[in-house]
């Protein structure tokens, strides 16, 4: 696939996988629309990518009107959109019984409604163009449930289901558009620092338990030593170029998901992945 001159919209572009996607897409010669909750990281990234035509659009993907404004800004600047990377996400940790209704609403608003809003807004644009690809960042946690990640698991399961339905609907309609889903394991990012993007009112209703703090302490070094975001982004871009729907960062992701499914069928029980 020739990426030269194509236009890519990347949400969550200010850090982690989103920043990795921006750097890899830039190296491939693409024009970039950098969307994120905070403007400062977007501006810094734009200044870094000096040889790339970029547009920075502060965007809360949980808000449909802001995603609509993102699309309008994209078309006004570039006249088209070839790729949408629905990547923005948050990762609060809590057991199911400790997850407040505010935590549920916030996590699902970003991780699930963000991709839904992206598809709702950008899909008609791509259909009118007659070309385009939508990729969503889900997670290894979107393939099987884990403890202490109730809201995160649910949101990422939803993203996987959304993209499976979208891909099948496009294929059934013989559409020239395509779709893919990225299910990464540990990638170096700031996802555990996601509370910085919550309103003070929402944070006040968040109750962090000792169990959650202990779990975060366990997974924090795993993420800090995770895959380089640029390497994760290269995997995504190469897989899209190869026409793949399922994209995994590490071989163990598919292996573990398959093992979970087989055990479910054979024993009717769940093990700890």
Which residues are annotated as catalytic? 152
Select from 83, 84, 81, 100 the least CA-distant residue to 92.
100
- Sign, CA dihedral 77-79-83-88, equals positive
CA dihedral over 102, 107, 112, 115, signed as positive or negative: positive
- Which residues, in sequence order, are bridge partners of residue 31? 7
Per-residue CA distances from 77 to 39, 46, 83 (Å): 18, 15, 15
Reduce the DSSP state of residue 135 to 3 states and report it.
strand
Contact between residue 135 and residue 180 where contact means Cβ atoms under 8 Å apart? yes
Question: DSSP string covering 149-192, please?
Answer: BHHHHHHHHHHHHHHHHHHHHHHHTT-S-EEEEEE-S-B--SGG
Q: How far is CA 146 from CA 108, 143, 252, 271, in A?
A: 17, 10, 15, 10
Backbone angles phi, psi at 71, to 5 degrees: -65, -40
- Residues with Cβ within 8 Å of 7's Cβ and at least 6 positions away in sequence, in order, are 30, 31, 32, 33, 74, 78, 80, 81, 82, 83
């Amino acid at each position: 696939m020739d990426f030269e001159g194509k236009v890519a919209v990347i949400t969550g572009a200010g850090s982690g996988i989103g920043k990795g996607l921006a750097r890899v897409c830039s190296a491939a010669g693409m024009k970039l629309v950098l969307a994120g909750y905070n403007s400062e990281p977007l501006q810094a990234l734009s200044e870094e990518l000096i040889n790339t035509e970029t547009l920075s659009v502060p965007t809360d993907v949980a808000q449909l009107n802001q995603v609509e404004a993102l699309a309008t800004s994209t078309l006004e600047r570039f006249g088209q959109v070839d790729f949408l990377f629905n990547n923005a996400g948050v990762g609060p940790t809590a057991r199911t019984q400790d997850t407040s209704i505010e935590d549920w609403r916030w996590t699902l608003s970003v991780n699930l409604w963000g991709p839904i809003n992206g598809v709702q807004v950008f899909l008609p644009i791509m259909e009118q163009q007659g070309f385009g690809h939508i990729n969503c960042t889900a997670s290894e946690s979107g393939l099987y449930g884990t403890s202490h990640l109730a809201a995160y698991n649910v949101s990422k399961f939803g993203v996987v289901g959304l993209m499976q339905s979208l891909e099948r609907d496009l294929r059934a309609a013989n559409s020239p558009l395509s779709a893919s889903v990225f299910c990464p394991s540990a990638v170096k990012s700031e996802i555990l620092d996601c509370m910085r993007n919550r309103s003070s009112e929402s944070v006040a209703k968040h109750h962090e338990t000792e169990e959650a703090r202990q779990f975060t302490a366990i997974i924090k070094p795993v993420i800090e030593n995770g895959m380089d975001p640029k390497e994760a982004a290269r995997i995504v871009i190469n897989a899209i170029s190869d026409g793949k729907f399922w994209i995994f960062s590490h071989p163990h992701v598919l292996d573990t998901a398959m093992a979970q499914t087989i055990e479910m069928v054979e024993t009717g029980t769940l093990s700890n992945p």
